[in-house]
Amino acid sequence: MPPQIYYPFQQFNFSNRNCFLTGQALSSDEEKIQVFPAWLMSRYNLEEQPFKLLDESYATYKDLKVPCAAQINEQYLEPLEVEIAAAFDAGYNAVKEVDEVKLFQWAGKLLYGILFNEVQAGIKQQHAQGQEFNISQALIHKFSNLHLMLQSICQRIVFEDFKPFSVFLFKVDNEEDLFGYRDEINTLTFSLRIKDFGLIICLQDNGANRAYHKEILGKIEGKQLHPIQFEEFNARIFYSAYLFNRLPEYNVLPAGDETYIEAMPLRGISSKPLFDFWQGKTYGQVLENFWKKWGYVLFEIVKDPDNPMSFLLDADGNFINAATIGLSR
């Protein structure tokens, strides 16, 4: 029997009566799981910390939950959490050994959980004002595809000769007990800096951002980074994810008890490059935000707009050894 793919965006089903992952009916509104897993919140004392939502309101990390069938949680999600928790605890070398699809599933589940809470809040707010909930078709397209691929956690879904994501992992000389989390819902970009590593995932780009940054990756991958270097690369990825101008399309092909997902060519019928034009000043504004801790302001960063300030590469384009950077971590 072919697997049943669940499409929550077709009828905008974001109630607490259905499992967020499979759509199956739940026995109680209390059948929920945390968006940020308990092990992560406990390790970094996040439970009561404020989490800012898109409408500028705040929840606490522990307030963010999604409805989830107990059997789905026990059979599929908890084993994934156990594997990721063990790797994250051990650090960079262990994370490097984790299958990238599992990192994608874990990060995607977390980001989709935040999105689920954002949509729920938006629906309530609009209905309270007597209005229908509105969201752009482009975002529905992206979010729906992410959800389709997350069902690979609990179904036999095969990505046919492609990866729907770009993963970037670095060894980083972080402060003890640091928890550095960022996301961008609109571009589906995720970043986490903890322990001795930094992880960035573009969740819906079919590897385009990885190809776009191929040259700099050739110089920095495998090197230990100072935190300011990681945040510089982080800013590059968040900015290029914003410049990425395609909405990936897929063919979904059921075959027996498996579902095959085939990616359509990103170029499609458009002659436009996959990424809009990189502007030094706009990138500088992004970088200023990522470098807040170190106090660099836009004026310094883009003094030469064609060559913004960098701690990753020197004037000749060579990697700067992290040990030579005399800044706080």
Tokens of 265: 């060519």
Q: What is the DSSP string of 42-100?
A: HHTT-TTSEEE-TTS-EEEGGG-EEE--HHHIIIIIHHHHHHHHHHHHH-HHHHHHS-H
Tokens of 279: 């502007």
pLDDT score of 31: 94
Quote the pTM value: 0.96
- Strands annotated E in 195-272: 197-202, 224-225, 250-255, 258-263
Name residues whose C-beta falls within 8 Å of residue 196's C-beta, 6 or more positions apart in sequence: 91, 92, 171, 172, 173, 174
170 three-state secondary structure: strand
Angle between helices 280-290 and 227-243 (to 10 degrees): 130
pLDDT means per 10 residues, the chain with 329 residues, are 83 91 92 97 97 87 97 97 98 98 98 95 80 86 97 96 97 96 96 98 98 98 97 98 96 92 87 94 97 96 94 96 95
Residue type, 169: L
Decide: residue 47, CB within 10 A, 0-12 exposed, 13-18 middle, 19+ buried: middle
Burial of 94-124, coded b for 16+ CB within 10 Å and e otherwise, reads ebeebeebebbbbbbbbbbbbbbbbbbbbbe
253-258: long-range contacts (C-beta < 8 A, 24 or more apart)? 253/160, 254/2, 254/3, 255/2, 256/2, 257/1, 257/2, 257/3, 257/156, 258/3, 258/156, 258/157, 258/158
pLDDT score of 309: 97
Tokens of 326: 């005399």
pLDDT score of 163: 96
**H-run or E-run covering 111:** helix 100-128
Polymer length of the chain: 329
Q: 251 and 150 in contact (C-beta within 8 Å)?
A: no
DSSP β-bridge partners for residue 18:
25
In the chain, the largest separation of any two C-alpha atoms, in whole Å, equals 63
